[in-house]
Each structure stands twice: as C-alpha cells, then as structure tokens.
Amino acid sequence: MIVCLCHRVSDRDIAAAVQAGTRCFDVLQDDLRVASSCGCCHDCAREVFDSALACHAGTSSSDTVQTP
Ligand code: FES
C-alpha cells in the first residue's frame, strides 16, 4: 500500500526502515521524506510507523535490555 503519494513511500518501505533500526518518526521523515511535502499522509504514516514499531518489538528480542 502506498502511504505517501508525494514521495511514493509504501507501508513496506516504512516497515523496512523499522527493521533497519529507525525508531523515531522524525528520522523516518528525514530518510524516506514521508509526510514532508503536502503532509496529507502524516496521520496514516504515523499509524503505519507505530504499528511497524509495535510489530518489531513483539518479534525482536535484540532491543531488549538484558539485566544480570
Ligand atoms: S502524500 Fe505524503 S507528503 Fe504528500
């Protein structure tokens, strides 16, 4: 699904960015330019980003801080 028409950013692009380590929406905007022109996609992009983060957190234990 295309999320940002201005920059042709898809939900898969956003998920891939999260997989690659993006944890901040501002960084996502800098990297993919999503929601950086007309802004119409901002809310949708944010939802997709938050969902991808939640999904990644649920499947990855590498970000978990291990305490002895
Ligand atoms: S649709 Fe994403 S900035 Fe315009």
32 within 8 A of 40, measured Cβ to Cβ: no
Q: How close is the Cα of 16 to the center of ligand 1, in Å? A: 19
Q: What percent of the chain has pLDDT over 70?
A: 87
- Residue 40 covered by a domain: yes
pLDDT value of position 24: 97
Flag whether pLDDT at 31 surpasses 80.
yes
Residue 10, Cβ density class (10 Å: 0-12 exposed, 13-18 middle, ≥19 buried): middle
**Helix, strand, coil shares, percent, the chain, to 5:** 50, 5, 40
Flag whether pLDDT at 68 surpasses 70.
no
Read off the DSSP letter of residue 66. Answer: P
Structural domain including 30 reads 2-57
Q: How close is the Cα of 40 to the center of ligand 1, in Å? A: 5
Q: Binning pLDDT at 50, 70 and 90, where does residue 61 land?
A: low
Mean pLDDT of 4-29: 97
Between CA 55 and CA 19 the distance in angstroms is 10
Please report the atom of ligand 1 found closest to the CA of residue 38: 4
Total number of domains constituting the chain = 1
61 within 8 A of 35, measured Cβ to Cβ: no
For the domain that residue 39 is a member of, what is the CATH number?
1.10.10.1100
